[in-house]
Amino acid sequence: MIKKPELLAPAGDLERLKIALLYGADAVYIGGPAFGLRANAINFTLDDIKEGCEFAHKLNKRVHVTVNIVLHNKEIDGLIKYLKDLEEAGVDAVIISDPAIMKIAKENTNLEIHISTQASTLNTEAVKFWKKFGASRVVLGRETSKDDIKEIMDNVDIEIEAFIHGAMCSSYSGRCVLSNFFTGRDANRGGCAQICRWDFDLLDENKNHLKGEKEFTFCTKDLSELKYIPDMIDLGISSFKIEGRMRSIYYIATVVGIYRKVIDEYCNDKENYTYNSDYEKILRAVANRDSISQFFLGNYGKECQYYNGRVEVSNQDFLGIVLAYDENTKVATIEQRNYFKLGDEVEFFGPNLETFTYKVEEIIDEDGNNIDIVRHPKQVVKMRVDTKLYPNDMMRIKNVLTK
Amino acid sequence: MKLLIMPNSIKQVNELLENIDGIIVGLDKLCINMPYNFSLDEINELITICNENDKEIFISLNKNMFNKDLDYLKEILLTLDSKNITGIFYYDIAIVNMKEELNLKVDLVWNQEHLTTNYLTSNFWNEHGAAYTALSSEITLDEVKEIKKNAKAKLMFTAFGYLPMFVSRRHLVKNYLDTFNLKDNSKINYITKEDKVYQIIDTVDGTIAYSDKVLNAISEVSSLDIDYIILNSFSIPNDIFKDVTHMFKNVNSANKEEYKEKIDSMLDTYLGFLYKETIYKVKKND
């Protein structure tokens, strides 16, 4: 059997951390209360981090914390204590882009150090520098190609982490301050306002409008390396990273679940592995934007651009999450996440479950009343489902594959 | 305080030589975001000019490097190390590693554009050969002063010019034109938003974009304790840049407001982030 890479998932809070690990991630990366690049996400408190680490370690899995802010003078003072607190909470690794933070982490903790993609590490010499200075892993810049990655791995003995799925920066990481200029929000300190998704008029050198059917934007499609997972495994990349700490539990469960299957199917039986296009359809169904493989194959041309600006499809496929299941009565307790009603055909899926379809024939509310529609956010209802379900299994609309 | 310019030609260097202490010039194929990419022959000519006139010369190799660039980069570093130059601007830390591995004696300038925002990291790179730090333009004047108090490296402060705000490997203008079957051979393009106009350029190494206004910190520099100030000639008409350089060379507390007004009358200027701290948390995390 081929050595499996780590599947590394994003988690914006404890619920998402647990879902990511239960659905097949080997590790999660999270933002702490400070020094991360998602300042406007909910982020974890130190107590949350401790609880998350305990949960992960019981499953023999890992927690990485982003400390990848671009440091300003006023942030220097709190750093040592913060890093020590992370170590005490049980964190396995910190993801850092600023070498001053790395130096402090090395001098004051035994935390494993991963170099963030924010450092835009793109070549062998840069990776050598980070290794020499004590990093155990480098998250490569998303602009690296398959050949770049291979050459780096052939020349430096260090763990390499690469993105496989999610949103892309249009710029080199760290080299975009559009957000600073347009909104005063600091892109390199977690305040990015995603100006890349704004529409602009493009003019020629004489300031005549170059008008296409849609307006100019910096924006790119999302990344999906689904088809190239076998190539990435064969390269020996240590960790496959999914982007999206602000994504929903449904998105995380679905994306992690699909990549878990692909990695397992390929590593367990490489000779008989075939690409399953249904997986691609499911990934497409949970996304709100188009996705494509990009720099891995050296592609960064027009097919990678996304000209629909901030228009994103709101996904309402996720209908509910299983809270409990009574094997004697075969009654599932389900918390609603989107509107559903009697007669709907739905699917249940989960980490320990073969996906199956089900027609909603009876719904009972918390007071024991039969109801026709589940319309209230997070409403808890009971439904008889003959197939055994587990807590954290999910219910979605039936036609995901045909969307 | 020394005055450096980023020139757009050898001719401009010769014209401004008496008003400057040195130049920063980008080497073609290894730089980005510079007013002009000079060939190695031109760089050699500029080194001679600067050496003969007792001026400092920094070479900018400030693009993000890929493995395909490394052989040429190594060759250039070895070549430049044998010349009488003042320092090398770097963005990619491949250059730091090569300096250490090849035992190069040339000084480096930490020039990671938007990341040079604190003294601790400046001191880290100083231990790895960066005798100079070129400060980010997205920090406040107070932050600049605090860095100056605590940094071991000599500091460079951009005082004039359009500010770079975006670098991508992607060819964003070409991609747009190709997508919508538009024809255009402009050397420079513009994007507009709410009546503001920004320069955007599709280069062989990707796309770069600049601020809509010109930073003019002439009234700040006369009282600023800093080692170098940088004037960037990118997209500034030569005659205006000549006047601006002359004014920066001669600015003092008595004439700074007069000079500021003169420059402001010639160009659409502003003070960038010098008095405007960027924010990064717009809502409280509970």
Q: How many domains does chain B have?
A: 1
Six-digit token string for A51:
């609880």
Write out chain B residues lying below 8 Å of A245, CB-based.
none
> Domain holding B241: CATH number?
3.20.20.70
Q: Choosing among B30, B62, B64, which should be mutated to test the A contact, i.e. which has the most A CBs within 10 A? A: B64
pLDDT range class, residue B284, cuts 50, 70, 90: very low
Q: Distance between CA A155 and CA A82 in Å, rounded?
A: 34
For tokens 């479950």, the residue is A353
- Of A72, A120, A302, which has the smallest distance from its Cβ to B118's Cβ? A72
Of all helices (H) and strands (E), which one includes residue A251?
helix A249-268
Q: Distance between CA B213 and CA A1 in Å, rounded?
A: 59
- Residue B76 inside a domain? The answer is yes
Greater model confidence, B209 or A354: B209
Distances (CA, A) of A71 to A44, A89, A101, A366, B122: 20, 23, 8, 50, 11
pLDDT of residue A260: 97
What average pLDDT is seen over chain A?
93
- Of A152, A175, A203, which has the smallest distance from its Cβ to B189's Cβ? A203
Q: Do B70 and A123 touch (CB under 8 A)?
A: yes
Distances (CA, A) of A146 to A93, A142, A150, A235: 26, 11, 6, 8
User: Is the confidence at residue A311, as pLDDT, over 70?
Assistant: no
Alpha helices in A60-187 (DSSP H): 79-89, 99-108, 124-132, 146-155, 178-183
Contact between B87 and A40 (Cβ < 8 Å): no
Q: Distance between CA B186 and CA A205 in Å, rounded?
A: 5
| Residues B128-182: tens digit of each pLDDT | 999 999 999 999 999 999 999 999 999 999 999 999 999 999 999 999 999 999 9
Q: Do B67 and A188 touch (CB under 8 A)?
A: no
| Number of DSSP helices (H) and strands (E) in chain A, helices first | 10, 19
pLDDT of residue A398: 84
pLDDT range class, residue A315, cuts 50, 70, 90: confident
- Residue B242 inside a domain? The answer is yes
- Of A39, A71, A152, which has the smallest distance from its Cβ to B117's Cβ? A71
Q: Do B124 and A71 touch (CB under 8 A)?
A: no
Q: Distance between CA B78 and CA A27 in Å, rounded?
A: 43
Q: Distance between CA A73 and CA B119 in Å, rounded?
A: 7
3-class secondary structure, B110: strand
Closest approach of chain B CAs to the CA of A393, in angstroms? 28
**Chain A to chain B, count of Cβ pairs less than 8 Å apart?**
227
- Residue B48 inside a domain? The answer is yes
pLDDT of residue A33: 84
pLDDT range class, residue A188, cuts 50, 70, 90: confident
- Residue B14 inside a domain? The answer is yes
Q: Which residue of B has its CA nearest to A178?
A: B165
Closest approach of chain B CAs to the CA of A86, in angstroms? 18
For tokens 């919508």, the residue is B180
Contact between A223 and A291 (Cβ < 8 Å): yes
User: Is the confidence at residue B241, as pLDDT, over 90?
Assistant: yes
User: Is the confidence at residue B24, as pLDDT, over 90?
Assistant: yes
Write out chain A residues lying below 8 Å of B278, CB-based.
180, 184-186, 189, 191
Six-digit token string for A55:
């949960």
Q: Tell me, what DSSP letter sits at residue A209?
A: B
Q: Distance between CA A192 and CA A194 in Å, rounded?
A: 6
Q: Do B280 and A186 touch (CB under 8 A)?
A: yes
Domains (range + CATH), chain A: 6-304 (3.20.20.380), 318-402 (2.40.30.10)
Q: Choosing among B93, B136, B215, which should be mutated to test the A contact, i.e. which has the most A CBs within 10 A? A: B93
- Which one-letter amino acid corresponds to residue A137? R
- Of A189, A205, A220, which has the smallest distance from its Cβ to B280's Cβ? A189
Q: Which residue of A has its CA nearest to B148?
A: A73
Write out chain B residues lying below 8 Å of A214, CB-based.
180
pLDDT of residue B219: 96
Average pLDDT over residues A231-237: 97
- Of B100, B184, B211, which has the smallest distance from its Cβ to A210's Cβ? B184
Q: Distance between CA B269 and CA B79 in Å, rounded?
A: 39
Average pLDDT over residues A80-101: 96
List the one residue out of B48, B111, B133, B135 whose CA is nearest residue B85: B48
pLDDT range class, residue A400, cuts 50, 70, 90: low
Q: Is A214 exposed, middle or buried (0-12, 13-18, 19+ CB in 10 A)?
A: middle
Of all residues in chain A, the percent with pLDDT exceeding 90 is: 84
Q: Which residue of B has its CA nearest to A42?
A: B285
- Residue B247 inside a domain? The answer is yes
Of all residues in chain B, the percent with pLDDT exceeding 70 is: 98
- Residues 6 or more apart whose CB falls under 8 angstroms from that of A373 comprise A339, A340, A341, A342
Of all helices (H) and strands (E), which one includes residue A283?
helix A277-286
B86 in the Ramachandran plot: left (φ > 0), alpha (ψ -120 to 50) or beta? alpha
| Residues B33-90: tens digit of each pLDDT | 999 999 999 999 999 999 999 999 999 999 999 999 999 999 999 999 999 999 999 9
Closest approach of chain A CAs to the CA of B25, in angstroms? 20
Q: Do A204 and B186 touch (CB under 8 A)?
A: yes
- Of A40, A151, A212, which has the smallest distance from its Cβ to B67's Cβ? A151
User: Is the confidence at residue B281, as pLDDT, over 70?
Assistant: no
User: Is the confidence at residue B286, as pLDDT, over 90?
Assistant: no
| Residues B106-134: tens digit of each pLDDT | 999 999 999 999 999 999 999 999 999 99
Q: Do A186 and B278 touch (CB under 8 A)?
A: yes
List the one residue out of A43, A31, A21, A153 whose CA is nearest residue A95: A31
Q: Tell me, what DSSP letter sits at residue A185?
A: B
pLDDT range class, residue B223, cuts 50, 70, 90: confident
Q: Which residue of B has its CA nearest to A43?
A: B285
Q: Do B278 and A76 touch (CB under 8 A)?
A: no
Greater model confidence, A41 or A202: A202
User: Is the confidence at residue B101, as pLDDT, over 50?
Assistant: yes
- Residue B95 inside a domain? The answer is yes
- Residue B196 inside a domain? The answer is no
Closest approach of chain B CAs to the CA of A66, in angstroms? 16
Q: Distance between CA B239 and CA B34 in Å, rounded?
A: 19
| Residues A355-379: tens digit of each pLDDT | 999 999 999 999 999 999 999 999 9
Q: Distance between CA A342 and CA A51 in Å, rounded?
A: 38
Contact between A34 and A63 (Cβ < 8 Å): no
pTM: 0.94
pLDDT of residue A42: 66
Extended beta strands in chain B, E state: 2-6, 22-27, 37-38, 56-61, 87-90, 108-110, 130-134, 154-168, 189-193, 196-203, 206-216, 228-232, 269-270
- Of B94, B171, B187, which has the smallest distance from its Cβ to A205's Cβ? B187
Of all helices (H) and strands (E), which one includes residue A239?
strand A239-242
Q: Distance between CA A229 and CA A258 in Å, rounded?
A: 11
- Residue B169 inside a domain? The answer is no
Q: Do B279 and A305 touch (CB under 8 A)?
A: no
Q: Do B278 and A189 touch (CB under 8 A)?
A: yes
Write out chain A residues lying below 8 Å of B101, CB-based.
125, 128
- Of B93, B175, B281, which has the smallest distance from its Cβ to A129's Cβ? B93
| Residues A27-80: tens digit of each pLDDT | 999 998 877 666 666 679 999 999 999 999 999 999 999 998 888 888 888 899
Backbone angles phi, psi at B125, to 5 degrees: -70, -30
Q: What is the ipTM of this complex?
A: 0.96
pLDDT of residue A189: 83
* CA R_g for chain B: 19
CA angle at A111 for the pair A106 and A117, rounded to the nearest 5°: 85
| Residues A247-268: tens digit of each pLDDT | 999 999 999 999 999 999 999 9
| Exposure b/e, B91-127, CB count within 10 A at least 16 = b | bbbbbbbbbeeeebebbbbbbbbbbbbbbbbbbbbbe
Average pLDDT over residues A159-167: 97
Closest approach of chain A CAs to the CA of B220, in angstroms? 21
What is the extent of the structural domain holding B153?
A: 2-162+213-270
